[in-house]
Amino acid sequence: MKFVPIFDDEDYLLSVKGDHEKYCEFDKILRNWTDIEYLDTFFTTHEVDLKRPFWEGISVEQAIIETRNEAIKFRQYLRRISKKNPSERLVLLLRLFQPLKKDQPTISFLEKKKAYGLRNKTWLRIYALKFGEDKYLITGGAIKLTDNMSEREHTREELRKLETCKRYIIEEGIVDEDGIIELLEL
């Protein structure tokens, strides 16, 4: 397992990359969310969830378009903030992530976090572990159409990834017991 910095000049935001993977998790989710074939397969597989009243009868085709547009906007937003200075960027990044669960303690060891997409009613989620004060490690992302992550296999898988990464970081001694790390300036 490797950690890839999302912005090239500092390490506030990292993404997990599997040993034999071509792309890191962050690259993978953005690729999937703009890949029409992937989205078509996903929304036809989960059409029953798409029919829930909350999504207001959106069709598979419209869902594909909305997801792609939102992912592109999100990617362009990050590209814009990648050109800002690191301290300004940090302020914007800190606003992105929220606790994974509403009832979880505000300060916890390797806290599990989520970021929403940019629409009001968004189904896009990015999942991350918080390191220390202001650093995040992206473990994956999902299109979440149900109320709870435990309801569908693809969101359960994201919960497993969060937990696996957390365990890996502890077992490898990458983070101390206070959850504080010092990242090297390379």
Partner 1 sequence: MKDTAKNKLNKYISRESLDWMAQADYYEINKDWLNKSALIAIKILSTLRSQSITQKALADSMGVTPQYINKVVKGYENLSLETICKIERSLGISLISVPSYESSQVILDSFSTVPFSIPKIESKPIGSKKTEYNSESKYQPQEIHIAA
Collect all residues with Cβ–Cβ distance below 8 Å to 148 and sequence separation of at least 6.
Answer: 155
Can you tell me the distance from the alpha carbon of 9 to that of 115, in angstroms, rounded to the nearest whole number? 22
Can you tell me the distance from the alpha carbon of 183 to that of 161, in angstroms, rounded to the nearest whole number? 22
The answer to whether residue 3 forms part of the interface with partner 1 (CB under 8 A) is yes
Q: Which of 27, 81, 122, 154 touches partner 1 by CB under 8 A?
A: 27
Question: What is the nearest approach in angstroms of partner 1 to the Cβ of residue 120?
Answer: 22
Can you tell me the distance from the alpha carbon of 92 to that of 12, in angstroms, rounded to the nearest whole number? 11
**Within positions 46 to 75, which residues make up the interface with partner 1, using CB under 8 A?**
60-62, 64-65, 68, 72, 75
Question: What is the nearest approach in angstroms of partner 1 to the Cβ of residue 68?
Answer: 6
Element at 111 (helix H, strand E): none
The answer to whether residue 5 forms part of the interface with partner 1 (CB under 8 A) is yes
Can you tell me the distance from the alpha carbon of 12 to that of 137, in angstroms, rounded to the nearest whole number? 8
Can you tell me the distance from the alpha carbon of 17 to that of 21, in angstroms, rounded to the nearest whole number? 7
Q: Which of 12, 40, 58, 146 touches partner 1 by CB under 8 A?
A: 40
Q: Which of 58, 81, 159, 181 touches partner 1 by CB under 8 A?
A: 181
Residues found near partner 1 in the complex (CB under 8 A): 1-6, 8, 11, 14, 17, 23, 26-27, 30-31, 34-38, 40, 44, 60-62, 64-65, 68, 72, 75-76, 78-79, 82, 172-176, 180-184, 186
